[in-house]
Chain A
Amino acid sequence: MAAGEELTLSGHIQHHLTNAKMCTVDGSVVFNKACSEAGFWTWHVDTLAWSIGLGILFLWIFRSVAKKASVGVPGKLQCFVEMVVEFVAANVRDTYHGKSKLIAPLALTIFVWVFLMNLMDLVPVDFLPAFAGWVGATFFGMDPHNVYMKIVPTTDINMTAALAIGVFILMIGYSIRIKGVLGFIKELTLHPFNSSNIVVQILLIPFNLLLETIALVSKPFSLALRLFGNLYAGELIFILIGAIGLAQLPLHFVWAVFHILVIVLQAFVFMMLTIVYLSMASSDNH
């Protein structure tokens, strides 16, 4: 048994909520607890593997449909894929009025990818971690309690933050592309308070800058933390329900049914807010 982790409820939960880590210490690759001192250069291999795997799954399915997409009568899979694409395209059309080749595929990627990652939340909480523990113990001679496997990438703040930062970079990029650097700076400094008196205006600039910067930076924060918080809490409740013995079955069912709504909704909200933020970044009128 791993040091500092007893077979208690909190230990069990702790085990479930810990990512599999990988890092290099003194030139050699080490895992998990050995990485406690590695700081920033730690890789969550489970998050990376599951998220990239799911992303490739998404792109593989959609690409295989896109390759043989027929103009005539579509097959069932093509119908489904086109339905998703149409849904995303309709949302983008309604919200984003500029011309951009990037927004719609971006929204589609976010929607489907986040949905698939959230969907992992519906896999019973102990299945894959227990399987990973068994594999680790059988083939690598590891202590199963030292094998970590967190299968829902969106319960990892790194995942959601990466998405949010990606969107944030695009927001700034679009702002500068549409309004120019000067326009972007003006937007940050001359709103929401402005005055025709130049002296007053100059006095107002730091205040405006503070407000606008907070407004700007709060967007990626809210994106990342909303998704992370919802999924982390949902996962935690699954783990708690899973720890109460036989009575878990009806509770699991109820929570899972509710969670079906949550995972779709969170994926949709992330996509929608991305479109809205980018549309705000590309519009001139403040």
Chain B
Amino acid sequence: MNLNATLLGELIAFTVFVLFCMKFVWPPLMNAIEARQQKIADGLAASDRAEKDLALAQDKAKDQLKDAKAQAAEIIEQARKREAKMIEEAAQKANAERDTILAQTKAEIEAERNRLREDLRKQVAALAVAGAERILQRSIDEAAHSDILEKLVQEL
């Protein structure tokens, strides 16, 4: 073997390299690696959490949607009921009004007819009296036969 002073030189170089590596190379690299591992772990945990949150939010949204739908259906149902009620009320009111108007009209018509009939009877009586007067002008005394005429007028 050919051992010589080179060995001492290499020993010193080795020591210096290892010390340098220990002081200036290993710690920053290891710190970076470990910090990144931590960061990745945190990121994964956060994403898990976010996923859970998302599922929760989706459930909540679904519930809310369901509630809203039920509420809307209820409102529509109420509106429909109210609509029906309003229509019914209106129909009732209209019917009542119609009945009133009808009755009134009937009464008016009746009154008018009575009046007309009265008029007519009076005119017919007058006419009949006038006719009879002309026919019986000379023979019949108006005063003597007025009771008969009255009777006639009554019968018309």
Contact = CB atoms under 8 A, between A and B. Distances in A.
Contacts of B25: 59, 62-63, 66, 105, 108
Interface in B1-59: 1-11, 13-15, 17-18, 20-22, 24-26, 28-33, 35-36, 39
Contacts of A70: 32
Contact of A162 (B11, B20, B22, B33): B11
Contacts of B11: 162, 165-166
Contact of A69 (B8, B15, B28): B28
Interface string A24-57: 0000000000000011111110011001100100
Contacts of B4: 38-44, 158
B29 A81 contact: yes
Interface in A82-121: 82, 85-86, 89, 101-102, 104-106, 108-109, 113
Interface in B56-95: none
Nearest to B35: A71
Q: Is the interface of B mostly helix, strand, loop or mixed?
A: helix
A19 B6 CA distance: 11
Nearest to B25: A62
A147 interface: no
B17 A59 contact: yes
Q: How large is the interface on B (under 10, 10 to 19, 20 to 34, 35 or more residues)?
A: 20 to 34
B10 A85 contact: no
A40 B6 CA distance: 9
B33 A66 contact: no
Nearest to A66: B28
B14 A166 contact: yes
